[in-house]
Amino acid sequence: MIKSRHVRVAVVIILGMVAQMGFAQVQYVLRPLGVGSAGRGMKVGLNNLGQVAGQPTGALTFAWIWENGTLIHLGALGAGEGSSAADINDLGEVVGSSTFLAGNTTGHAFYYANGVMHDLTVISGLSVAQNSVASINSNSVAVGFAIGSDPFINGKPGLIWNIDPADPSNNTSVVAFPTLAKPLAVNDAGDVAGATLQFEEALVREDSSLLYELGQLPGSTFWGSWARDISVSRVVAGGGRMTQFTTHAARWDKAGGVYQISDLHPAITNLYPTAHSSDALAINEQEQIVGWFGIGGLADTAVMWDSTNDVVTLYDHLVDAQGWTDLQHAYDINERGQILVSGRTAAVQDELALLIPIPIPHLSIAPTSPPAGTVDILIAPTAPNLVYRMRSTTHPSAWNWYGPPLSAMHTSLVVRVTNEVPVRIYRCEVNLP
């Protein structure tokens, strides 16, 4: 469930007007993390507490956790010289991959909790040569994959760890399976989303038993699809190939025991006809899906699809861009509606940021009796730096601004509305800074 920070607005209506408060569209406050981004495929995760974990970039060497402006470096296994995090759950548990010997680039899956990194590579008494964890849920169930020819793998690279936080190094309850070779996400119900080894087809494994093949995008001319995330309600976000060189974001909804695919790209081409590719990277329980789209020769653009598959470009919903010139990728979204994105700063650096949603209160103002001429409405906000604007619901595309933005020196604002049509209803939007 999304938790919103409400802004209270006291309203005095003159001349027999009444007002009702509601919430509509959302704007976002940009919170830079001070960590560089790594493009479309960056390994990074966001939990419902607003904590972020990810792979090192730039001068960073180790996996890290960001929390409220503080960056914590997680180190590496043994004498390893590098590590990379892929996900973090609401318990603050982090998973990923780490080297374990000096001068050795082989990665071992790790589980990090309470300041300690644990090696998940020893499975049922056997040491798997190389493996990595991609996702962890709130029940400490993690999924990933292995590389190598060890007896435990034996053609079954997909792995599920049922981690015991009290004894995380005891990995006897690991499940391996051949078909879902690239598990990419696990939800809190234990459903796993991913793809075959070479991303030929998206797959979902329900309840640790039932396997569903999700098929290909309608009209595709090149084989390939993948499931990157799955909600508890079993809505899947991912994508697929339309041609050898283009991809489309997609979602799957389960109906009648079958996962039905929807192409999310047409919503983008309706706005940007030259957009050639897109991908969906994450979904929350409100069925908000985040990802990106690309136009040839230009930087990618971070987007969000809502439950009706309508799309918005996130940069256009920033309250203050803080000098950032774009937002390129939306990697993750939590149940509070916070979105983890990458973009370009004023210093032309590609960095990560957290978008914090702020709902816009709406004041729907309707005359109880049609007033003649002009109506004055006094609006007294409880917070400074608010901007008010009015529009008629009978002409929703025609915006009219009344008065300057409020500052700390203002305690109220009088807006003047001319009632040109007796039954016209006016709405006042409050845009936060």
Q: What is the pLDDT of residues 78-110, one digit of tens each?
A: 899 999 999 999 999 999 999 988 877 778 899
385: Cβ contacts below 8 Å, ≥ 6 apart: 405, 406, 407, 408, 432, 433
Q: How far is CA 114 from the centre of its chain?
A: 25
Q: Which residue is it, tokens 């800074």? A: 433
Query: What is the value of pTM for the model shown?
Result: 0.79
Q: How far apart are CA 366 and CA 372, in angstroms?
A: 14
Tell me what the mean pLDDT of segment 366-371 comes to. Answer: 39
Domain ranges for the chain: 9-23+362-431, 26-361
Strand 350-367 versus strand 426-431 pairing type: antiparallel
CB 119 within 8 A of CB 110: yes
Shared fold status for 9-23+362-431 and 26-361: no
Secondary structure (3-state) at 334:
coil
Q: Does domain 9-23+362-431 correspond to CATH entry 1.25.40?
A: no
322: left (phi over 0), alpha (psi -120 to 50) or beta: left
Q: Does domain 26-361 correspond to CATH entry 2.130.10?
A: yes
> What is the reported pLDDT for 96?
96
Closest-CA residue to 159 (of 130, 201, 188, 116):
130
Q: How far apart are CA 21 and CA 13, in angstroms?
A: 13
Question: For residue 168, which amino acid is it?
Answer: P
Q: Is the predicted pLDDT of residue 371 greater than 70, yes or no?
A: no
What token pair was written down for 417? Answer: 């509305």
DSSP state of 318: B
Q: Is the predicted pLDDT of residue 250 greater than 70, yes or no?
A: yes
> What is the reported pLDDT for 308?
80
